[in-house]
Amino acid sequence: MGSNTLETILVAGATGATGREILRLAQTRVDTVRALTRSPDAAPGLQTAGADEVFVDDLLAPEDLSAAVADVDAVLSAVGTAPTALRSGPPFVDGAGNRTLVSAAADAGVDSFVMESAIGVGSEPASPLATAFNAFIGPIQEAKATAESAIRDARIRHTILRPGILTNGSRTDLVTAAEPGAKLWGTISRADVARLMLSAPVTPAAADRTFEVVSMPRFPSRDADIDWTMPDGQ
């Protein structure tokens, strides 16, 4: 793998709204795009969306993740708990699922792990948006915090992105990515998050860092001034 290339990535949560944006972006920039889903029926749709290979497994009860992470340069995790599943209680894929995935990735020698977390996760001071997230999905936020810790402790290069409210708007590339504690609030499109997630493994300044990210409103004075670079095409 060259410094600006990704030969193989695994997208966890590939059927989800952010995951599909990652597939769309990656299909012309990454040689082999693997998608992970719990649903065998999702395979044809994932291939149409840009996946070269589909792996079926459940991160909360995995049968065998070793093949999915074998020879992978970067794992991009956009998994999340559906609001309807919140009532069923932990374990949540946001926590236990991501912890299982980073452990498998580290064991397999994967170079890089990127997690889509959320504003308000972690102990740093955060904006009132974090208070709102905590009020509605507090147990999920707590689960995400355990995954963030496991990722930082794992022997793997990582980037953790904590977006504000996700939208299905178009990609703008006009984002603020700021250090935890920057107290950002606002929205960001899943397409903009996907670009940051795909860029993180080949962006030197993103290594082993966590960012709050929003695109509306922008906070230029709080931006970490990262030159987010997409992987070179095939």
Quick note: the x/- pattern for ligand NAP over 8-37, rule CB under 6 A, is -----x-xxxxx-----------------x
The reply on whether position 59 binds ligand NAP by CB under 6 A is: yes
Q: Given the complex with ligand NAP, which of 60 and 224 has the nearer CB atom? A: 60
163 is a contact residue toward ligand NAP (CB under 6 A): yes
Interaction between residue 94 and ligand NAP (CB under 6 A): yes
Judged by CB under 6 A, the number of residues near ligand NAP is: 26
Three-state SS sequence of 7-46: EEEEEECCCCHHHHHHHHHHCCCEEEEEEEECCHHHHHHH
Residue 108 vs 184, nearer CB to ligand NAP: 184
Q: How far is the CB of 8 from ligand NAP (least distance, A)?
A: 19
Joined together, the tokens standing for residue 134 give 């905590």
E strand intervals along the chain: 6-12, 30-37, 53-56, 74-77, 112-116, 157-163, 165-167, 176-178, 187-189, 209-214
- Taking the C-alpha atoms of residue 40 and residue 214, their distance in angstroms, rounded to an integer, is 34
The CA-based angle 16-101-210, given to 5 degrees, is: 80
**Which region, judged by CB under 6 A, interacts with ligand NAP, from 65-73, 124-132, 158-166, 203-211?**
158-166
Closest approach of ligand NAP to the CB of residue 182, in Å? 15
Q: In this chain, which stretch among 63-71, 74-82, 202-210, 220-228 interacts with ligand NAP, using CB under 6 A? A: 74-82
DSSP tag of 109: T
| Residue type for position 123 | S
Q: Which two tokens stand for residue 127?
A: 């904006």
Residues that bind ligand NAP (CB under 6 A): 13, 15-19, 37-39, 42, 58-60, 78-80, 82, 93-94, 97, 116, 118, 163, 165-166, 190
